[in-house]
A = this chain, B = another copy of it.
Amino acid sequence: MVVGYNTYIDLLEDLIDEEQEVISTGMTKEVDRTQLAVEAAQDGKRVAMISSGDAGVYGMAGLVLEMVAENELDLSVEIIPGITAANAAASTLGAPLMHDYAVISLSDLLTPWEVIIDRLEKAAAGDFVIALYNPKSKQRTEQIKEARNIFLKHKAPDTPVGIVRSAKRGTEEMMITDLENMLNHEINMVTTVIIGNSETFTFADLMITPRGYEL
């Protein structure tokens, strides 16, 4: 049985057999979806729960294991790692994640905004390269502006910023800009934003963070 969010099931079309049972549900139905998958597995079915990117990064791996732990179930679960959006987007931009980096989601649906703000502050003050997930949606439009203001307290306005939409999904689009100008470009729910550290530079259409080697 294959269980997943509609959009991800569509992406898998070519890999799913006609005989396979498929359950696809809408967005924000994560808990229901997990319950269905766990119950089917308890009934003896072999169930694949689908995430995009890496299931272990803001994906379904955690929810499945939380449900197993909460109910003290004796279920065998294997987590198969994937390439998360930060690394997929980085490869499109060049090599921005070559030094210490922080991955932060701007979605405050499940996390208090104060916690997110504090992490943005700490990551910027520590001169981390920063990858932002869920930077903006139709409902959430202010978070990316606040995040940029926090970054500007610690990082120069010409710090390189990479914007990648639909990383590695076949319809990928990318743009390299800087902190000063980043809000002039389209940022939406399928966008990953990568902000450089103090040594990140650009060349042609590449964003590069040096590792520190003498060339």
Give the docked Cα–Cα distance between A83 and B70 (Å): 29
Contacts of A95 in B (CB 8 A): 55-56, 61-62, 64-65, 79
Q: Does A143 contact B (CB under 8 A)?
A: no
Contacts of A98 in B (CB 8 A): 56-59, 61-62
Contacts of A84 in B (CB 8 A): 87
Give the docked Cα–Cα distance between A212 and B110 (Å): 5
Contacts of A88 in B (CB 8 A): 81
Report whether B63 and A213 are in contact in the complex, using a CB–CB cutoff of 8 Å.
yes
> A residues within 8 Å of B by Cβ?
30-31, 54-59, 61-70, 72, 79-84, 87-88, 90-92, 94-105, 110-111, 115-116, 118-119, 121-123, 125-128, 168, 201, 203-204, 206, 208-215
Using A70-B215, A87-B81 as known contacts, say yes or no to A97 and B56 having CB atoms under 8 A apart. yes
Contacts of A87 in B (CB 8 A): 54, 56-57, 81-84, 87
Nearest to A80 among chain B residues (CB) is: B91
Give the docked Cα–Cα distance between A91 and B56 (Å): 7
Show 10 residue pairs from A and B whose CB-CB distance is below 8 angstroms, ordered by the A residue: A56-B90, A61-B91, A61-B95, A62-B211, A65-B206, A66-B210, A66-B213, A111-B212, A118-B126, A123-B123
